[in-house]
Amino acid sequence: MQITPRTEELLVEAVRRVAAREIMLHFRALGAGDIDTKSGPDDLVTTADRAAERGLAAEIATILPDALFVGEESVHADPGLLDRLSAAEFAVIVDPIDGTGNYAAGLTIFGVILAVVAKGETVFGLLYDPVIDDWVLARKGGGAWFAGPGKPPRRLQGRAPRPRAEAQGYVPLSLYKGARRAEAASAITELGRATSLRCSCHEYRQVALGQADFVVSPIAKPWDHAAGCLVVTEAGGRIVSGGVPGYDPRAPEAPVVAYGHAASGKDLLPPALLTL
C-alpha cells in the first residue's frame, strides 16, 4: 500500500472537517459531565476526544480502508490494539485531541496528531492546530512543511544549534515521578529556558518551526511522538529514544528527545534529562 500526495491531502481535509465538527464546536462549551479521567486526575478525556476519534476513524476508513486504526482512546479501551501495530503492514495512529487538559480548561494550546506507519516506519506525519486552522506535515524523505488555507506551503529547516546555557525547549516535569522530578527540575536550571506546553503537537511544531531547540519526554506513546519525530527529522533535526537514534512506533522507548538541529551537540542537554 502506498500513500500519495492526494492521500495526504485527503487526510488533512478529513482532520480539518472532524476538528471543526467535533472539537471546535464544543471548545469552551463543555459541561461537568463532558470531562472524565483515565489513569489519574491529570489524565483527562472529554466527550469531544471520543467523538473526534470516532469521526476520524470513519473518515480514515474511507481513505485508507486497509489500514489499522490506532487511536489513543481506542487503545485505552482495548490495550491489545497496540500489539497489532507491530504486525500491521499499514497503520494510522491518531491523537484526536492532544493537550486535552488545555482544551478542557479553555486554553487554545491543543491539536490533532496523525501519523501513517508503513511496516513500522512512519512515512507521514501531521500536526494540526484546530484553533488557527493550520498545520505542519512531513513525508518520509520529502521534507517538513508549514501550510494552511490560502498559505503557500513553506518548507521548514529548524534552527541552528545553540549552547546549553542559551537553549530553549520543553521538559514536562509533571511526567517525571518521585525523586526523578527533583533531578529533572535541577537539571533544567542549566538551560536558557525550559517549560512545557502540555501539548506534544505544539511542542514539536515549535521545534520544527525553529522556535525551540529541543523536546524531552519521559513517556513514549506513539500517538504523542510518531508524527512529531518525523516532522522534526524532516525539518533537519534528530531524534533519540531510549538512548538510540530514531523512534520506532511499534516499540517506543523513553525518554524521547527531539533536537531541532542534527548538529546539536550531545552535551546540549544535561544528562539527568536523558535517563529515566
pLDDT in tens, 75-103: 999 999 999 998 999 999 999 999 999 99
Q: Which of 7, 85, 113 is nearest to 248 (CA)?
A: 85
pLDDT value of residue 276: 80
- Cell reading at 241: 529514544
- Say how many C-beta atoms besides its own lie within 10 A of residue 179's C-beta: 8
Low-confidence ranges of the chain (pLDDT < 70): 1
Report the Cα 198 to chain-centroid distance in Å.
11
pLDDT value of residue 1: 62
pLDDT value of residue 213: 97
CATH class assigned to 164-273: alpha beta
- Cell reading at 232: 522534526
pLDDT value of residue 113: 98
pLDDT value of residue 275: 85
pLDDT value of residue 225: 98
- Say how many C-beta atoms besides its own lie within 10 A of residue 238's C-beta: 18
- Cell reading at 243: 538512548
pLDDT value of residue 39: 84
pLDDT value of residue 159: 85
Q: Which of 183, 235, 180 is nearest to 204 (CA)?
A: 235
pLDDT value of residue 91: 97
Separation of alpha carbons 211 and 134, rounded Å: 17
Which of the following CATH numbers is that of domain 5-155: 1.10.3720.10, 3.40.50.10860, 3.90.1660.10, 3.30.540.10?
3.30.540.10
- Domain boundaries of the chain, sorted by first residue: 5-155, 164-273
- Cell reading at 92: 494510522
pLDDT value of residue 63: 97
